Chains A and B, each alone.
Chain A
Amino acid sequence: MTVATFASAFHHMDVLGNRFDLLVVDEVHHFGNGMSDESLELCTAPARIGLTGTPPGSHHQRSRLEELIGPEVYRQTLSDLTGEFLAPLRIVTLALDLTPDERRAYADEVAVYQPVCRRFFRYTPRASWQDFQRAAVRTDEGRRALAAWRRSRRLVAFTQAKQRALAQLLHEHRESRLLVFTGDNDTAYSVARDHCVMPITCDIGCQERTQALKQFRAGELHVLVSAQVLNEGMDVPEAGVAVLVGGRLGAREYLQRIGRVLRPAPGKQALVYELVARGTHEVHDAARKRRELVA
């Protein structure tokens, strides 16, 4: 039996690919989009199994995965697994107001990007957001719109109300192991500075991250804050409460974040707080993610 990371499989499959009868691919949603499919193509294993908690949404990727691994043979939803394999989950959405200044600044940014967006999607109704970004970077107006869009996202990522709500949640759950998820690293560092909690980001060295996770498991640290690193691959079964402060998330990232607190334990009730800035795109995004989660 050989265990390999995606990277080492990519490097060595051309030499070792003919030696296996069974190929098991964990987190298989990373394949099927062209990036590292070659490593699966180079393997001659006739029997293949792909595992994922977040199957890809796009039709193209799913059909490519069918070619590389095979058709979907088994599926269970979150509700099927809750109880026996996953801890019962409660999601609390806290809608928080912007301050008058924040609201004004947000409206100003929206006024810059929204007309450009609307015009683009009116003429190309089937286009995706990525198509818009590709088209926008080609013109000054488009780049200005994108910059305004990014500023608007940053503005609502960690509003004053969210800061207050987070402080309160940290205080209320000071006995629990708590994970805070932010939209970007800058916000993670702000949270870390304001509340003296350890950040786990891609910038923090591997050794320090491992040490922090060890302390978290041992109970020396009760809170970790992260933008992306904790989304996937890190096993933190002790965590019971998650706070989603912000960030533009796809359904997969949303599910992955929630999944961090779902490891079952006797009497455990996983609790997820979602902080949403009222009157902004976040309200719509949160509703969409909830729908996708149920589906």
Chain B
Amino acid sequence: MKFTTRRESGGNLLPERLLQFAIAGDEAIPKYLTCADHPWLRTLMEEYQRFDGSRLTDLRERLREPLPCYAPDGKLKLAVHVLDRLCRNRRPAAPVPPKEARKILFTEAQRARLQSLQSRTYDRDPIVAAVASKLGVSPPALLASLFADLPAERLVALPSPLPDPGDLALRANLALAQGFLQRASRITLELEGNARAVVRQILHRRLLCTVRPRSRPRTASLEISGPYSLFKRTLLYGRAIASVVSALHASHHFRLSAETILRERELIVTLRSGDPIFPDAGAYKQYDSRLEERFACEFRRAARDWDLLREPEPLQAGDHMIFPDFAIQHRRDPKRRVLLEIVGFWTPQYLRRKLEHLREAGASNLILCIDDKLSCADGALPQAGPVIRFHRRIDVAVVLAKVEEIQPSGGSRR
């Protein structure tokens, strides 16, 4: 799973004026950037390229004027906001620390100005030259250093490689989706397939989340408290919740419904699978670890009658959810289905509790694979339950034997 950086996960809160949406009843329909917007996005990026290395204030000034082609105003501002966040603007080179340059030059100049009371002449250039030689630089270098640390002097530095218009549109859409979530009071999320990556992100960011009863089989239903439901509207929480959007890409199907407060109205925003909001579509990593990848590869090679499904549906055990890593399902007899979870660090107590949860969930078909090296405490392993111990590598033959033991059938062929 790829965790997003602060910059990618919404960095600063997208101002409400930049949120592009239409209102239909009590719903806010996001206005995403589509391929129809690519021509003006290309022109906008060309403008940025023209100002690469120039002063940021000059670029700002240029962008106050319209582009040479038609660009919808709201979407244009959104794209500019996203491009700005992608740019890593840098300070101009300063041979002398600017603060030091200012302090010395201006004090010396004042001294010279007072001396000119007698001489009646005051010339700036000799003062600059004298201070520059004192600091061991040339006069132009001294003048260049003078305000090099100020925001007005920052230079545009475009990201490399520059995103193409399609990518920029997706990034803008992602920022838009995150902007809605950052103004949510309650978020309901239904996930189907690979829900674990999303749940893990929710837990990782320590969001307030509860499991809801499933509306359909093989789905996970969650409810997350939005920043606007908290007593204090923290930016940190808003940023954490924004990062969930990027994680949704891992899920095969999802439907996110957010109760938001936009333009002082309570509106519902819905994000669904297929919405153009995932710029890093290719960057999703299928396996969590080399161990999982190796096991999947070896299993598929060794067990031709069995399908190995990654990230199957989660199991609900009371108010807990268990996310198996794999489902092993017979190709011709799908009722023969076993779930497999590779346990990370463990203690006997932890395993005992886990097996209890499984019993509560009525999941008798789950195999736990535990690595001997990741044991964190001594003690007897629980005897009950299908547990496979391994060292470095999960033996596919042992797993298959355990599967046959749990789901026996005379007709199955290896």
Residues of A within 8 A of B (CB): 137-138, 140, 143-144, 146-147, 150, 170-171, 174-175, 185-186, 189, 192-199, 201, 203-205, 208, 215, 220-223
Contacts and interface: CB of A to CB of B under 8 A. Distances in A.
Taking each of A138, A146, A193, which has the highest tally of chain B beta carbons within 10 Å of its own beta carbon? A193
Interface in B106-160: 106-110, 113-114, 116-117, 122, 124, 127-128, 143, 146-147, 150-152
A134 B195 CA distance: 46
Contacts of A143: 64-66
Interface residues of B, number: 29
Nearest to A201: B150
Nearest to A140: B66
A222 B150 contact: no
29 contacts: A137-B73, A140-B66, A140-B70, A143-B66, A144-B66, A147-B64, A150-B61, A170-B113, A171-B116, A174-B113, A174-B117, A186-B57, A192-B106, A192-B147, A194-B124, A195-B109, A196-B108, A196-B109, A196-B124, A196-B128, A197-B106, A197-B109, A199-B147, A203-B151, A205-B99, A208-B99, A220-B107, A221-B107, A222-B113
A143 B116 CA distance: 49
A140 B40 CA distance: 14
A221 B106 contact: yes
Nearest to B102: A198
A220 B114 CA distance: 10
Given A140-B66, A186-B152, A195 B107 contact: no
Contacts of B113: 170, 174, 222
B143 A193 contact: yes
B154 to A, nearest CB: 10
Interface string B87-119: 000000000000100100111111001101100
B107 A215 contact: yes
A134 to B, nearest CB: 12
Contacts of B146: 192-193
Contacts of A198: 102, 106
Contact of A196 (B65, B106, B152): B106
Contacts of A138: 73
Interface of B: 57, 61, 64-66, 70, 73, 99, 102, 105-110, 113-114, 116-117, 122, 124, 127-128, 143, 146-147, 150-152
**B interface, by DSSP: helix, strand, loop or mixed?**
helix
A175 B117 contact: yes
Nearest to A195: B124
Given A143-B66, A150-B64, A208-B99, A174 B109 contact: no
A120 B277 CA distance: 40
Contacts of A186: 57, 152
B289 to A, nearest CB: 46
A222 B64 contact: no
A174 B64 contact: no
A145 to B, nearest CB: 10
A199 B70 CA distance: 41
B222 to A, nearest CB: 33
9 closest cross-chain pairs (CB), A and B: A196-B109, A140-B66, A203-B150, A147-B65, A198-B106, A143-B66, A174-B113, A221-B110, A203-B151
A220 B110 contact: yes
Contacts of A201: 150
B64 A146 contact: yes
Contacts of A189: 147, 150, 152
Contact of A174 (B66, B106, B122, B150): B122
Contacts of B66: 140, 143-144
Contacts of B64: 143, 146-147, 150
Contacts of A171: 116, 122
Contact of A203 (B99, B106, B110, B152): B152
B152 A185 contact: yes
Given A147-B65, A196-B106, 4 more contacts: A144-B66, A170-B113, A196-B108, A208-B102
A197 B109 CA distance: 8
A134 B144 CA distance: 38
Nearest to B77: A137
B20 to A, nearest CB: 15
A223 B110 contact: yes
B192 to A, nearest CB: 43
Nearest to B151: A203
A132 to B, nearest CB: 15
A204 B101 CA distance: 13
B280 to A, nearest CB: 33
Nearest to A138: B73
A155 B107 CA distance: 30
